[in-house]
Amino acid sequence: MSSNSRIATRPLVLAGVVVQLAAFAVSLELGEPTAYAVFAVLSAGALALGTLPGLFVPPLAFVLLLALGGSGFLYAGAGGALLLALALIATDRPPRKGVVGLAAAVAIGALLYVSWGFLADFGLVGYALALVGFVALAGALAAVAGAGGFDTVFALVGACILLALGLPILMIVGRQDPGLVLEKAANPEVQRSFYLTIFAPLLATLFTLSLGVPLAYLLARGFPGRPLVESLVDLPLVVPHSVAGLAVLFAFGRNAAFPNMDVYPTLLGMVLAMAFVSAPFAVNAAREGFEATDDHLAWAARSLGANRWETFKRVEAPLAVRGVLTGGVLAWARCVSEFGAVAVVAYNVDVFYPPAGSDVTAQHAPVYIFRTFTSQGLDDSGAVAALLLVLVAVIFVVVRTVAYDDGGWP
Amino acid sequence: MTEQRTRRGFLATTGAAAAVGLAGCASLTGSGDGGGGDSITIFHAGSLGAPWEEAEAKFEDEYDIEVDREPAGSVDSTRKVTEEPHKAADVLGTSDFRLIRNMVVPDYGKWYGIFATNAMTIAYTSDSKYAEEFGPDTWYDVLARDDVSVAHSDPAADPNGYRSVMTMKLGAIELDGEKLYDQSQAQTLIDNAKVGASAESSLIQQLQSGKLDYAWEYQSAGASRDVQTVDLQPEVDLSKATQKYADHYANATVTAGGNEYTGAPIAYGITVPNTGENQDGGAKWIEYMATDPGKQVMKDNGFQPVSPLVVPKSHEDAVPDNVMTRATAKESLGPLDL
């Protein structure tokens, strides 16, 4: 079932992405990002109601929102009315019910129109209350119209968190001057920084995975004192990042362990700092991968004469590979984003750069972006940040597509 | 069964406590003004951290105004005000008054004052390599050695960074027909020094970890932190605000991050940016720093207070009255155009 439906849905997913990006671009151009925010949530509700409303109603909704323009009251009112209209389109109940629903929609739209303005005076709490009311009413209406209240509510709530995550990122990328972004992309300093930003986290990830997988396996199989060790693995998560950097310096400093290890300011130090902050992600995800494998398979392999090494290599590891891979991706991403620890241990590092054929001095992208901000200002640093976001997004999509069996797609 | 109930009870209690705590915050979007009382926010150079931390407690006692400080590199601190989203600061203190003169005035502040001077130095510990032979006459020899680990902050992000490079260059520039070393020695020194952090205050930690032998710092760092410093020659340490030395310092220029910086005496600037939410409170802080207790704190921490506070004549009208009573308006400070 999944392979057939995947073929059918992939163009839809792509179309959805294109529509969302286009809507964002248009609303940004018109100076109405709020309209996009409401639109994005509405589209999720529409998609939850089925292919037909999901495809055709969002563009109409968008035009309507833009036509209303400007006010949160209107967005809320229009949103409520539109969701009900969607529910009616999606239902196959008799039209009489639709008429009742339409009347309810108008009433609810008016209610939201008034209450939003009232609640917005309470700032965040007001918006949160308005949102809860909005989602609850939309779900109730969809249920009344017989079009899946559960799906609608979950899709709306899910879309809200997506929006909270996605909108800031879209805004960073969206507000950049394309000319400046291209100029930065052509800047060798930026290219070297990005090379280091991909390469050093990769080394750190390989390091944490190669040492972390055995630990993850042991944790998954259990041993006395396991909760203690698990807590220890999680501990770096709460260590402030600047402190993490110092910890690495002091751990390998004078009168400490391995005092001759050249960590400051070198690629080695950078990788160690990254490993320190990212290891919990790698170990935990890999552990979950091993926990999800069925012990009986390992027992079967043992009973058929395989020793522990063979069992691990041919049964347990292949089954857990997805968890390990997820851990690797998470750890890599964590390393890419690390600023504090890297800035303390390895503000500037020398790294072999293949295009130059020699060692060059480069900075980790978060450090480079900070430095660009202090020396050249927000526009320049924003352009580099936008480039980094796009680059990493592309890498994520490629990794998901190539590395996971099902392509990582729906 | 009991165990499960206990666990559920624990979770419920924790959740309820969290909810009550959240509700107690009244608003997640409040601007953290510390519970209703009067408060000011200060952005300042990392090097001002030690004296201003000391001054903070005394100021809070005297004026009943809560002080929130945000130390960072001077350039970074300035840009937090001048770049979007124009963060609210009631006081901005930088290790180079020209940052305020050039970037803040007139759009984000109407005036500024010069309240302290400082000197360049090199910090080290007794564990640093060659510490026993390190001194005023040997520093340029020791710092040029391959096996010595020496760093300064990022010239693109921090005045201490470009000033370190200026100091190294000035040693090879003649004053009264004499110089400390030749051009190639200056280049060796510059090449041997690493860029270790965005602000010089972080270098102290690296120094104390033992991974760094010598760090370029301000004289004030030696007074307020547990490190040793060396007294550098006045012709290189950027401390003398006289015409002769200023002309000499101006011979050293450093290009970093697309900007060119010209050598000058180290003069700290202070202002009340107009992004502030409590600008009167900010002016009170500046007034306090110009009074005897404020000046004493600066002195205790290795700075030379400028007394009375110097403000530029051209912006005299914009200076708050309480600050102006402790300030003098000048066209220039020694050699420095205001």
Smallest Cβ–Cβ distance between B75 and the set A256, A264, A374 belongs to A374
Tell me the residue range of the domain where B162 lies: 120-237
Mean pLDDT of A284-304: 91
Taking only the tens place, the pLDDT of each residue in A153-196 is 788 788 888 888 888 888 888 888 889 999 999 999 899 999 99
Please say if the pLDDT value at position B129 is more than 50: yes
DSSP class of B95 = S
A259–chain B Cβ distance below 8 A for any pair: yes
B96: chain A residues, CB-CB within 8 Å? none
Q: Taking CA A106 as the corner, what is the angle to CA A105 and CA A110, rounded to the nearest 5 degrees?
A: 115
Task: Determine what percent of chain B is predicted with pLDDT higher than 70.
Answer: 89
Q: Do the beta carbons of residue A159 and residue A44 sit within 8 Å?
A: yes
Please say if the pLDDT value at position A410 is more than 50: no
Distance CA B170, CA B244 (A): 14
Label the pairing between strands B267-271 and B113-117. antiparallel
B210–chain A Cβ distance below 8 A for any pair: yes
| B197 domain residue, yes or no | yes
Q: Is B73 in Cβ contact with A378 (below 8 Å)?
A: no
Say yes or no: B124 and B190 in one domain: yes
| B244 domain residue, yes or no | no
Q: Is A253 in Cβ contact with B209 (below 8 Å)?
A: yes
- Helix residue ranges, H only, A292-408: 295-303, 308-311, 317-337, 340-345, 365-376, 378-403
pLDDT at B31: 47
Please say if the pLDDT value at position B147 is more than 80: yes
Distance CA A54, CA B49 (A): 57
Say yes or no: B114 and B100 in one domain: yes
| B260 domain residue, yes or no | no
Helix (H, G, I), strand (E, B) or coil at B73: coil
pLDDT at B272: 93
A370–chain B Cβ distance below 8 A for any pair: yes
| B189 domain residue, yes or no | yes
Which CATH number belongs to the domain containing residue B228 in this structure? 3.40.190.10
pLDDT at A52: 65
Distance CA A183, CA A181 (A): 5
pLDDT at A166: 85
Largest CA distance in chain A: 83
Say yes or no: B181 and B273 in one domain: no
Mean pLDDT of B162-179: 91
Q: Is B195 in Cβ contact with A343 (below 8 Å)?
A: no
Say yes or no: B226 and B271 in one domain: no
Distance CA B10, CA A206 (A): 39
Distance CA A91, CA A102 (A): 13
A124-144 helix and A72-90 helix, angle to the nearest 10 degrees = 20
Say yes or no: B56 and B99 in one domain: yes
Mean pLDDT of A340-355: 88
**CA dihedral angle for residue B29, residue B31, residue B33, residue B35, rounded to 10 degrees:** -10
Band of pLDDT at residue A90, cut at 50, 70 and 90: low
A375: chain B residues, CB-CB within 8 Å? 75, 156-157, 256-259
Band of pLDDT at residue B326, cut at 50, 70 and 90: confident
pLDDT at A94: 54
Say yes or no: B298 and B318 in one domain: yes
Taking only the tens place, the pLDDT of each residue in B271-295 is 999 988 899 999 999 999 999 999 9
Smallest Cβ–Cβ distance between B156 and the set A253, A263, A371 belongs to A371
Distance CA A12, CA B108 (A): 50
A125: chain B residues, CB-CB within 8 Å? 27-28
Which of A72-81, A352-361, B156-165 shows the lowest mean pLDDT across its residues?
A72-81
Band of pLDDT at residue A328, cut at 50, 70 and 90: very high
**Among B206, B207, B259, which would you mutate to test the A interface (most chain A Cβ atoms within 10 Å of its Cβ)?**
B206
Mean pLDDT of B157-179: 90
Say yes or no: B74 and B50 in one domain: yes
Which of A90-94, A241-245, A343-347 shows the lowest mean pLDDT across its residues?
A90-94
A299–chain B Cβ distance below 8 A for any pair: no
Q: Is B211 in Cβ contact with A253 (below 8 Å)?
A: yes
Q: Do the beta carbons of residue B97 and residue B269 sit within 8 Å?
A: yes
pLDDT at B34: 42
Band of pLDDT at residue A401, cut at 50, 70 and 90: confident
A347–chain B Cβ distance below 8 A for any pair: yes
**CA dihedral angle for residue A385, residue A389, residue A391, residue A394, rounded to 10 degrees:** -170
Distance CA B92, CA B78 (A): 7
Split into its structural domains, chain B has a count of 2
Say yes or no: B103 and B208 in one domain: no
Token pair recorded at residue B256:
């970093």
Smallest Cβ–Cβ distance between A344 and the set B28, B127, B197 belongs to B197
pLDDT at A100: 60
Band of pLDDT at residue B26, cut at 50, 70 and 90: very low
Helix (H) or strand (E) holding A312: none
A344: chain B residues, CB-CB within 8 Å? 197, 202, 205-206
Say yes or no: B66 and B145 in one domain: no
Helix (H, G, I), strand (E, B) or coil at B263: coil
Distance CA A256, CA A176 (A): 46
Helix (H, G, I), strand (E, B) or coil at A333: helix
Task: Phi first, then psi: give them for residue B248, nearest 5 degrees.
Answer: -65, -50
Cα of first residue to Cα of last residue in chain A, in angstroms, is 12
Q: Do the beta carbons of residue B152 and residue B223 sit within 8 Å?
A: no
Helix (H, G, I), strand (E, B) or coil at A146: coil
Which of B12-16, B51-55, B192-196 shows the lowest mean pLDDT across its residues?
B12-16
Please say if the pLDDT value at position B264 is more than 50: yes
Token pair recorded at residue B51:
């004296």
Q: Is B149 in Cβ contact with A264 (below 8 Å)?
A: yes
What residue of B is the nearest CA neighbor of A263? B211
Please say if the pLDDT value at position B28 is more than 80: no
Write A15-23 long-range contacts (CB < 8 A, 24+).
A15/A55, A16/A43, A16/A47, A16/A54, A19/A43, A19/A58, A19/A59, A23/A58, A23/A62
Which of A101-110, A357-366, B182-191, B264-273 shows the lowest mean pLDDT across its residues?
A101-110
Strands (E) located in B56-212: 66-72, 91-94, 113-117, 120-124, 150-153, 193-197
Q: Is A367 in Cβ contact with B198 (below 8 Å)?
A: yes
Say yes or no: B152 and B87 in one domain: no
What residue of B is the nearest CA neighbor of A261? B211
Say yes or no: B59 and B151 in one domain: no
Q: Is A344 in Cβ contact with B202 (below 8 Å)?
A: yes
Helix (H, G, I), strand (E, B) or coil at B49: helix
Interface A–B counts its CB contacts (< 8 A) at 88
In terms of phi and psi (left: phi > 0; alpha: psi -120 to 50; beta: otherwise), the region of B66 is: beta
Token pair recorded at residue A158:
């899910």
Please say if the pLDDT value at position A3 is more than 60: no
Nearest Cα neighbor of A107 from A84, A127, A130 is A84
Mean pLDDT of A19-48: 81
Task: Determine what percent of chain B is predicted with pLDDT higher than 90.
Answer: 30
A125–chain B Cβ distance below 8 A for any pair: yes
Say yes or no: B139 and B230 in one domain: yes
B122–chain A Cβ distance below 8 A for any pair: no
Q: Do the beta carbons of residue B56 and residue B71 sit within 8 Å?
A: no
Smallest Cβ–Cβ distance between A249 and the set B84, B127, B211 belongs to B211
Q: Is A254 in Cβ contact with B194 (below 8 Å)?
A: no
Mean pLDDT of A362-384: 88
| B243 domain residue, yes or no | no
Q: Is A256 in Cβ contact with B210 (below 8 Å)?
A: yes
A372: chain B residues, CB-CB within 8 Å? 257
Distance CA A65, CA A72 (A): 10
B196: chain A residues, CB-CB within 8 Å? 264-265, 347-348
| B131 domain residue, yes or no | yes
Please say if the pLDDT value at position A274 is more than 90: yes
Which amino acid, residue B312? P
Mean pLDDT of A352-378: 87
Band of pLDDT at residue A92, cut at 50, 70 and 90: low
- Helix residue ranges, H only, A30-123: 33-49, 51-68, 72-90, 95-120
C-alpha R_g of chain B: 23
Band of pLDDT at residue A286, cut at 50, 70 and 90: very high
pLDDT at A71: 59
| B326 domain residue, yes or no | yes
| B257 domain residue, yes or no | no
**pTM: predicted TM-score of the whole model, two decimal places:** 0.77
